[in-house]
Amino acid sequence: MKIRLHHPRRDLEIPGRRRVSGILVELGLDPEAHLVIRGDALLTSDSEVGDEDEIEIRPVISGGTTDEAPCAV
Amino acid sequence: MRCLKCRGAAAVEVRRHRAAYCAPHFLEFFEAQVHRAITTQRMFRPGERILVAVSGGKDSLALWEILLRRGDDATGLHVDLGIADYSQESRARTEEFARARGARLIVADLRAEYGMDIGTLAEASNRAPCSACGLSKRYLFNKLARDGDFTVVATGHNLDDEAAVLLGNLLHWNVDQLARQAPVLEQTHPHLVRRVKPLYRTAERESAAYALLRGIDYVVEECPHSRGARSLLHKDVLNRLEAASAGAKQAFYWGFLDRLAPVLRAGGPPALRPCGQCGQPTTAEVCAFCRMTARAAARLSARASSLP
């Protein structure tokens, strides 16, 4: 299967059929911090991805700016 | 995995609720959570003029989408921070979102207004970029809301953002900041516009799923200045806890709101007064934003005059 990753943006290929949960474990990616997308559809952790499929693993965590003060103090 | 509502194939798992939903029922679930946040926290009344802070990312665009779908009077505010390709892309996505929906958008350009981008401002004022960015945004949100007669500013801070800020504040025992952390920051001074966080009940992963399922074209790439940011470390720690114990983040933040925040707020809000230079509310004689821009301008000027 072909996998598109981000941060940095790159593509990789791994052989064989796998569950989404297994792919994330294999790549060391946190399920809470990623969405797995096939075409226009979101995949749950128990979804099967075939050898011929193309998926995107999209990070969802953004960081940096915090918001702790109520005004310009 | 099956949808909790219709038993069709699930698209999004919400582990903290021990639930999964198909795409239409997930959209319904997410929007219901936002409606609930707005109504239970009395964030704003129907017809109020809302200024929505929109970065071009998933959270703020998802929030704006929901407010527009609810029929709220929601104008977008985008701050162009001047971060090369990242800001160009963020601004373009925001402008395209507004154009496609016929929504009103205000764009504030930091370079045009203050003569420097956020990287220059941070470096010249000796602040971390995320700190300079947060201060600049808070300042501009309040200033532009007042200038435009908006009665409330809505931001896209989600459950993960709030839990990460809470963890950071607890690690350093920032008691003053803990006392101010809430889904609604009330108007405690005539010059301070109320600020609300309608996504505080929903997780970051859920915002991303909502944006994707609604076909919102948001900026996926991360701000280059946020690499190594402390808030990302806090989110990573909380996500590890969440993986081991679903609902940990929600229990952490909502528990704080229920049990500790009322105790910390018992002392009342800090005394504010108008900044001697710009008139924005502050606890000091001159507000932090005016001090930061003055320091940066002085340092840049000194550098320019020392050039041969």
- pLDDT digits over B148-179, tens only? 999 999 999 999 999 999 999 999 999 989 99
User: Considering all CA atoms of chain B, what is the largest pairwise distance in Å, rounded to the nearest integer?
Assistant: 74
In this prediction, residue A64 carries a pLDDT of 57
| B164, B205, B225 ranked by CB distance to A32: nearest | B205
Chain A residues close to B20, C-beta within 8 Å: 44
At B112-131, the pLDDT tens digits run 988 999 999 999 999 988 88
Q: Tell if the CB–CB gap between B180 and A42 is shorter than 8 Å.
A: no
In this prediction, residue B229 carries a pLDDT of 82
Q: Tell if the CB–CB gap between A32 and B157 is shorter than 8 Å.
A: no
Residue A50 CB contacts under 8 Å (≥ 6 apart), including other chains:
A1, A17
Q: What is the mean pLDDT of the segment spanning A20-31?
A: 94
Question: Which residue in chain A has the smallest CA separation from B209?
Answer: A35
Residue B191 CB contacts under 8 Å (≥ 6 apart), including other chains:
B142, B146, B272, B274, B279, B280, B281
Chain B residues close to A63, C-beta within 8 Å: 130, 164, 222, 226, 229, 231-232, 235
- In degrees and rounded to multiples of 5, residue B7 shows phi and psi of 65, 10
Q: What is the mean pLDDT of the segment spanning B176-198?
A: 94
Q: Where are the domains of chain A?
A: 2-59
pTM: 0.94
Smallest CA–CA distance, residue A15 to chain B, in Å, is 24
Q: What is the mean pLDDT of the segment spanning B30-45?
A: 97
At B220-229, the pLDDT tens digits run 988 888 877 8
Token representation of residue A14: 């791994």
Give the whole-number percent of chain B exceeding pLDDT 70: 100
Q: What is the mean pLDDT of the segment spanning B74-93?
A: 94
Give the whole-number percent of chain B exceeding pLDDT 90: 87
Domains of chain B: 37-209+229-306 (3.40.50.620)
Chain A residues close to B269, C-beta within 8 Å: 70
Q: How far apart are CA B66 and CA B213, in angstroms?
A: 13
Question: Which residue in chain B has the smallest CA separation from A32?
Answer: B239
- In degrees and rounded to multiples of 5, residue A13 shows phi and psi of -125, 135
In this prediction, residue A65 carries a pLDDT of 54
Smallest CA–CA distance, residue B133 to chain A, in Å, is 6
In this prediction, residue B223 carries a pLDDT of 86
Class of domain A2-59: alpha beta
In this prediction, residue B228 carries a pLDDT of 76
